[in-house]
């Protein structure tokens, strides 16, 4: 008997899944984007945001 398992709305039969070219392409695209270097301008903006958040926090007496 083949065991039916549910995974995110799609049915899977047994433990072997058929090759899905869309899934493979999305995984390849994700890997390419994830391995890109973060632009310096974006890092500068994040630093400015962090500085603004730190300045907005009330200081606690020590």
Q: Give the total residue count for the chain.
A: 62
What pLDDT digit, counting tens, does each position of 44-59 carry?
A: 999 999 999 999 988 7
- Is pLDDT at 4 greater than 80 in this prediction? no
Strand partners, 4: 13
- Is pLDDT at 37 greater than 90 in this prediction? yes
SS3 annotation, 8-34: CCEEEECCCCCCCHHHHHHHHHHHHHH
Residue found by looking up tokens 């899905």 in the block: 20
Q: How far apart are the first and last CA of the chain?
A: 68
């Amino acid at each position: 008997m083949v065991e039916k398992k549910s995974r995110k709305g799609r049915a899977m039969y047994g433990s072997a899944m058929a090759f899905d070219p869309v899934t493979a392409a999305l995984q390849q695209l994700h890997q390419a984007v994830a391995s890109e270097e973060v632009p310096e301008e974006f890092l500068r903006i994040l630093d400015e945001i962090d500085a603004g958040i730190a300045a907005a926090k009330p200081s606690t007496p020590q």
